[in-house]
């Protein structure tokens, strides 16, 4: 994954929260084959099988795989396993809306 604060790609560690249910993130993970990678199709197939074993729905479209409703922990796990072979893009959001209070 890309660390924009330090302008480089890295593996992120799993954050530890006291009340993780309120801060849980989920979203979609998109994996694309990298140009010039001879084993890209095999890596996409492995990612698909691995994500399905974790209980996720995976949609394949050519050289792209989309994992639906993936958690932060599993997105990090998928990135660690398949990041060297695939381009991983993930959009995660809080499962529950964050309440904002109006301050006068």
| Host H or E run for residue 3 | strand 2-3
Q: What is the pLDDT of residue 95?
A: 64
Q: What is the pLDDT of residue 76?
A: 92
46-100 tens-digit pLDDT: 999 999 999 999 999 988 999 999 998 999 999 999 988 899 999 888 866 555 5
Residue whose pair of structure tokens reads 């249910």 in the numeric block: 21
Q: What is the pLDDT of residue 104?
A: 47
Backbone angles phi, psi at 71, to 5 degrees: -85, 165
Domain boundaries, given as residue ranges, for the chain: 25-94
Residues 25, 5: Cα–Cα separation, whole Å? 20
Residues 25, 7: Cα–Cα separation, whole Å? 23
CATH fold of the domain at 25-94: Alpha-Beta Plaits (3.30.70)
Asked whether the predicted pLDDT for residue 103 surpasses 70, the reply is no
pTM score, whole prediction = 0.67
The residue ranking higher by pLDDT, 39 or 42, is 42
**CA neighbours within 13 Å on the CB side: how many for 21?**
0
């Amino acid at each position: 994954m890309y660390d924009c604060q330090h302008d480089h790609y890295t593996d992120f560690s799993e954050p530890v929260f006291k009340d993780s249910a309120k801060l849980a993130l989920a979203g979609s993970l998109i994996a694309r084959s990298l140009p010039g990678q001879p084993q890209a199709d095999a890596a996409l197939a492995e990612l698909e099988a691995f994500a399905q074993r974790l209980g996720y729905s995976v949609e394949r479209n050519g050289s792209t795989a989309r994992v639906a409703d993936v958690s932060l922990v599993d997105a990090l796990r998928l990135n660690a396993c398949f990041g060297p072979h695939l381009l991983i893009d993930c959009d995660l959001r809080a499962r529950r809306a964050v309440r904002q209070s109006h301050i006068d």
